[in-house]
Amino acid sequence: MKTLSFKKMAIATTALIGLTAATSALAGTGGWGASTSTPTALYTKGVYYTSQWMSPVITPPGTAQMTDLSWSYNFNYHPVGTNAWIENTSGQSAYLSGASGAFNNIAPGVPAGLSLRFRFQVPGTGDLVPDAYTQIHSANVTYSY
């Protein structure tokens, strides 16, 4: 059995520590949250209405991928049958099962730094009486890179 000299072991250990440090510097996690209190008003059934865009204050690293997303919104009253989605600036969207919730363990490929907004629609035709409006929208993103 061949043994390494102390000097060779020190060099190998230093190289391994350097590689570990470089890998750790490239891998990480983070998150951002945003909200808007500008109301989204729904006046007519069958029409799609969108909220203002919500963006991260500090842009995540370019390689950051969304891992979790939580949301909440509330209306002055919740019209029966309201459909809601959350979408990003690249056009990806997800149907929301309620006024608050979360998607966990999101499949890779969804960039974490894109702005988000809500889209709402009440099925049917005619006026929505009374008008419905959201009082606040919020989203929280967790990401890894």
**pLDDT value, residue 27:** 78
Mean pLDDT for all residues in the chain: 85
H or E element: which one contains 109?
none
- Give me the residue spans of the domains in the chain: 28-144
What CA–CA distance (Å, rounded) separates 29 from 141?
11
The band of 135, judged by pLDDT with boundaries at 50, 70 and 90, is confident
Contact 109, 65 (CB under 8 A): yes
CA count, 13 A, side-chain hemisphere, 97: 4
96-125 residue pLDDT tens: 999 999 999 998 899 999 999 999 999 999
Q: Which residue has the tokens 């999101």?
A: 106
H or E element: which one contains 138?
strand 127-144
Contact 95, 60 (CB under 8 A): no
Top-level class of domain 28-144: mainly beta
28-42 residue pLDDT tens: 999 999 999 889 999
Task: Mark residue 109 as left, alpha or beta (left: phi above 0; alpha: psi -120 to 50; beta: remaining).
Answer: left
What CA–CA distance (Å, rounded) separates 123 from 131?
14
